[in-house]
């Protein structure tokens, strides 16, 4: 049985979400800055298996090719990490904006509820006064 959305939304600790939103956004910005400042290693050739041939020069060339292949993989992983951290930063910024809008809507709803209560009290008072006069 699916859970109704209103029940799910009522279970969310909105005060904690609103209180922690700036910290989440700051943490994402710091992550983005730290990842973005690191330089990616240079791209290299593809992987070559290491087979000991007994020839020192050939073994060194094979090791060099393996090292270059690993550097290429490392560069690719770094690019993925940068892209992921950029996405996290974007999502954190959007979350901060969403939380700010939710907070503004909560304040508006509270004001509207207070106004509706006052309006209801005035209407009730007017009804009482009208009934007393008749």
Q: Domain limits at 99? A: 5-133
Q: Which residue has the higher pLDDT, 40 or 116?
A: 116
Predicted confidence band of residue 3 (pLDDT cuts 50, 70, 90):
low
Burial-class residue 114 by CB neighbours within 10 Å (0-12, 13-18, 19+).
exposed
Put simply, whether the predicted model's pTM sits higher than 0.85 gets the answer no
**How many domains are contained in the chain?**
1
pLDDT in tens, 66-110: 999 999 999 988 988 888 888 888 888 888 888 888 888 889 999
Q: How many CA atoms lie within 13 A of 28 on its CB side?
A: 20
pLDDT in tens, 26-58: 777 777 777 777 665 555 444 445 566 678 888
């Amino acid at each position: 049985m699916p859970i109704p959305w209103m029940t799910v939304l009522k279970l969310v600790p909105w005060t904690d979400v609103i209180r922690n939103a700036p910290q989440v956004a700051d943490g994402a910005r710091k992550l983005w800055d730290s990842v973005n400042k690191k330089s990616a290693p240079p791209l290299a050739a593809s992987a070559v298996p290491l087979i000991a041939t007994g020839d020192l020069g050939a073994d060194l060339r094979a090791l060099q090719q393996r090292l270059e292949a690993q550097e290429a993989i490392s560069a690719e992983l770094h690019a993925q990490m940068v892209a992921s951290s950029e996405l996290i930063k974007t999502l954190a910024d959007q979350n901060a904006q969403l939380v700010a809008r939710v907070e503004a809507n909560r304040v508006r709803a509270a004001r509207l509820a207070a106004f509706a209560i006052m309006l209801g009290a005035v209407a009730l008072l007017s009804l009482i006064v009208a009934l007393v006069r008749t």
